[in-house]
Structure 1
Amino acid sequence: MAVSIDELPSHIVLEILTSGRLSAADLVCLELASSIFGGSQGLYPLKFRSLADLAAFQLCVSHSVYAPMSFETRKELFDRCGGNWKRVLRFLQSVEQASDIVKTSAGNQMQIKAGRYHTLLVSNSSVYSCGSSLCGVLGQGSEMTQCGSFSRISFPPSSPVVQVSASHNHAAFVTLSGEVFTCGDNSSFCCGHKDTGRPIFRPRLVEALKGISCKQVAAGLSFTMFLTREGHVYTCGTNTHGQLGHGDTMDRPMPKLVELLESVGSIVQISAGPSYSIAVAHDGTVYSFGSGTNFCLGHGEQRNEHQPRAILSFRRKGIHVVRVSAGDEHVVALDSCGYVYTWGKGYCGALGHGDEIEKTTPGIVSSLKNHLAVQVCASKRKTYVLVDTGSVYAFGWMAFGSLGFTDRGASDKVTRPRILDSLRGHYISQICTGLYHTVVITNRGQIFGFGDNERAQLGLDSLRGCLEPTEIFVDEMMDNAVADKANV
């Protein structure tokens, strides 16, 4: 006998709401559509506005970003969200998606990552690349020197890819099962393979990590970081400045466990700069190691650190960091209340404080205090901040138009965060930037790029550059979508 959802006990309805992967937007729609979800149903009527609100609260409590937060931090986030649990949930889910896989309204799962002169795209577990194929970084084979549009990279059928990272001359890929593949220039051991005599032109399984399940990779300049599902960090490659974190400057040809991070608890995120590394711990502590040039380590000095060292200014202020992006000469961080911090060189206004003065330790970007940031992205003298409303703020050096401001010259400076008007009509879910190009994904699965395209790094083979966001179409993805519809 069919039973209407209106006839189900409210605790069963609540269990249904919290057992799946509903988004904050889904809960808002349900709340508006039916009194079952919009009413309190006698459940904690003074504390929660509706059943959907209670479901949002329970989803927040079990969320990986929210769980380790202190009571004070949770209260501050709740207040910043206007006492609305659905907005808290939107913030948490947006932080997760922006640094991982975007689930689009069309049902696609996507991720975009920009290297120096190339771009990698994950769509429904398939990987596409475009741009300059320096040393095989595109993974398309030795015959490919440049790819003018996004082309699919071949992986074993049993290895759907869920996360990628791109550097100047090598790339790394994590599969659903936790395996890691790499390609590119391995002369510095950064790909984690014994063969260093010639470039690796197609993604190859990192045998040294067999049996070790990974969830994230971060490719630096001639070195690589690997984060396991257990929260452990492995590194390999060049170690001139101590960027591998083993307490010395010896290069490592194979991925080696960073034992000095074992005592600090689980690591939840990693980021690799040109010659320095950053690791964010479960409790919100940020550890940095490697080259101290440009004050990128955040310790107030330019001394190299051969082993992980906590950034004390965050700890002293009780700031719980959730994400960090390591740029060429500066760093940007996001805390669990949606505040943004920057440090390092202030060239061209890349720190967002209205000047070009360096910051030796993290400083809050005050003009963004009224916004809930969900993603931060740093590159060559420019910074992007994505907020929970889907808008993007940018600051730093325009450089070939890579900030996307159509009313500014191709070499202008923007020293304070400014909303990217050219993207206002879209809800942005993820953003990434290379040396002089930038690519975004919308919540509908559209891809837009702007900046330099001299090496086809935007996947727009008919243009040399874009001063404003231009939609990028991936032919093979479109063909697959048509085929899927035909099979329905």
Structure 2
Amino acid sequence: MMAERNRCISIEELPLHLIMEILSSGRLGAADLACLETSCRMFRGSHDMFPHKFRSMVEFAAFTLCRAQPVFASLPPSARRDLLDRCGGNWKKVLRFLQSVEQSSGTVATSAGNMQVTTGRYHTLLINDSSVYSCGSSLCGVLGHGQDVKQCVAFSQINFPCLSRVIHVSASHNHAAFVMQSGEVFTCGDNSSFCCGHGEIGRAIFRPTRIEAMTGVPCIQVATGLSFTVFLTRNGSVYTCGTNTHGQLGHGDNMDRPIPKNVEMFEGLGRVIQIAAGSSYTLAVTYDGTVHSFGSCTNFCLGHGDQHDELLPRAIQSFKRRNIHVVRVSAGDEHAVALDSSGCVYTWGRGYCGALGHGDENDKTSPELLISLKSQLAVQVCARKRKTFVLMDDGSAYAFGWMGFGSLGFSDRGSSDKVMKPRPLDSLKSHYISQISTGLYHTVAVTNRGLVFGFGDNERAQLGHEWLSGCLEPTEIIIQQKEESDMAAES
């Protein structure tokens, strides 16, 4: 009896319904399912158990997992069909797209754990599983290491006054914000504009400090703009605080807010699923795929075809007229980028230096499809100072715009050159890029193996290298381990 109990059981001996429960449990990704289908014959068959439109149990499992994805659940039937067609009828590829999009605005799963990278003006923040690291200039305390730390030449761990782990981080010009697993939000950095949300305290915040005004309002995402902050709650509401000169807080006026206030108009517009903050404007995507924008329209960043500031959220009609279901947006300093449910990319705003990727420097007053990438399946878009990055579902990256100290990663181009159309980042083609973030003059990417690469300006150690002034091509950044950080702190 004991020998029989300890006998190894082949997976082929298990009942099919139990195998299907394992495949569709949510613990396997698209790549895992593809490997199973390739390596084991039993997974390639349908066993007469599934509808004829699914050629294998793995395909049916992928379809089941797709239905559980939040992005897929929000799509109308026509958008689901379009996505499946774009993926060649392959549900594993649909699942890979959905999972990549879901992770693009938060942490990504790598073989080294969950990671997220975000780049600020002269600094970089990185989540690596339960720890958060920062490097670069600590102007106004933005690195979160205390008043005595002016600069970190390597990624150094930030200490938080609570046990809850950080699940999301945002870095901007001079302040940073962290969302905890508990839903609490911590901020640090320059608070002269009240963007840190701690009330009318004009002094700098040198260590991550919990926003008491958000107690009982759990958040899932935060976006830091220039002197203002946007919060997305678990129930899809939006809160804002800080400078409101152009209406970027969305309350219908120009009054600054020292603590986060609910953007009440969204209560009647539907649940918000993603937010982005530009220099002085805000973008928000609702569950139905509508993009709402408000704030400054100086560079046509609001996408309404004019240059009028919007004090309240306003839907971008260009998308709605064409039945385009947007799933993610990125707000640059002078331009914006959107990703739709079929993996197509749209840009608008100021076209200086080719930041919009259309082959010229013309401004676009409303979103325009990036035709040169139409045959590709994009999963993440990232815009900042006159440059744009687009990640594809195969792990490749494209970049265009202003080289700016080499921050596009093309070593054969000058540090102030312009790349007018999307160009593949061949220097990283041997790696699968899972996430990318670009700051003022530097860029950092994370691979599916948990490797971190940086390129561009490093004068203030924002790339985590002590002796380099800059990197014209991606260079690996070593993350200081926790025990090393503890030893350094004790010494």
Instruction: Say yes or no: TM over 0.5.
Output: yes
Q: Verify the 8 A CA contact 1:242 1:290 in the aligned structure 2.
A: yes
Select which of 419, 435, 459 maps to 2:424: 419
Partner-residue secondary structure (3-state), 2:72: coil
Select which of 86, 90, 96 maps to 1:84: 90
Q: Alpha-carbon deviation of 1:194? A: 2.3
Partner-residue secondary structure (3-state), 2:187: strand
State yes or no: 1:156 paired with 2:161.
yes
State yes or no: 1:373 paired with 2:378.
yes
Match of 1:7 in 2: 13
Select which of 110, 120, 124 maps to 1:104: 110
Select which of 204, 213, 231 maps to 2:236: 231
State yes or no: 1:62 paired with 2:68.
yes
Q: Alpha-carbon deviation of 1:478? A: 8.7
Q: Verify the 8 A CA contact 2:331 2:384 in the aligned structure 1.
A: yes
Match of 1:35 in 2: 41
State yes or no: 1:385 paired with 2:410.
no
Match of 2:488 in 1: none
Match of 2:489 in 1: none
Q: Alpha-carbon deviation of 1:103? A: 1.0
Normalised TM-score (structure 2): 0.96
Deviating more after overlay: 214-223 vs 469-478:
469-478
The amino acid across from 2:82 in the alignment is E
Aligned length: 479
Q: Distance in 1 between matches of 2:409 and 2:26?
A: 37
Deviations 1:401-436 (A, max 9, x none): 000011111111010000011111110000000000
Q: Distance in 1 between matches of 2:253 and 2:477?
A: 44
Q: Alpha-carbon deviation of 1:187? A: 1.4
Q: Verify the 8 A CA contact 2:194 2:202 in the aligned structure 1.
A: no
Partner-residue secondary structure (3-state), 1:16: helix
Partner-residue secondary structure (3-state), 1:435: coil
Q: Verify the 8 A CA contact 1:184 1:201 in the aligned structure 2.
A: yes
Q: Distance in 2 between matches of 1:277 and 1:468?
A: 32
Select which of 72, 75, 78 maps to 1:72: 78
Match of 1:359 in 2: 364
Match of 1:476 in 2: 481
State yes or no: 1:428 paired with 2:404.
no
State yes or no: 1:406 paired with 2:423.
no
Per the alignment, do residues 84 and 4 of structure 1 end up closer, same or farther by CA in structure 2, a change over 3 Å counting?
same
Q: Verify the 8 A CA contact 1:179 1:214 in the aligned structure 2.
A: yes
Find runs of 4+ consecutive structure 1 residues off by over 4 angstroms.
477-480
Question: Any residues of structure 2 matched to 1:148-227 within 5 Å, and which?
Answer: 148-227=153-232
Deviations 1:243-280 (A, max 9, x none): 00000001111100000111111100000001000000
Q: Distance in 1 between matches of 2:406 and 2:101?
A: 27
Question: Any residues of structure 2 matched to 1:262-281 within 5 Å, and which?
Answer: 262-281=267-286
Q: Verify the 8 A CA contact 2:354 2:361 in the aligned structure 1.
A: yes
Which blocks of at least 5 consecutive residues in structure 2 are unaligned?
486-491
Q: Verify the 8 A CA contact 2:336 2:347 in the aligned structure 1.
A: yes
Match of 1:121 in 2: 126
Q: Verify the 8 A CA contact 1:188 1:196 in the aligned structure 2.
A: no
Q: Distance in 1 between matches of 2:483 and 2:403?
A: 32
Deviations 1:20-76 (A, max 9, x none): 321001001111232332211112352111101100001001101111111111111
The amino acid across from 2:389 in the alignment is Y
Normalised TM-score (structure 1): 0.96
Deviations 1:204-241 (A, max 9, x none): 00000011110000000110000001000000011010
Match of 1:348 in 2: 353
Match of 2:264 in 1: 259
Which blocks of at least 5 consecutive residues in structure 1 are unaligned?
481-488
Q: Alpha-carbon deviation of 1:479? A: 5.8
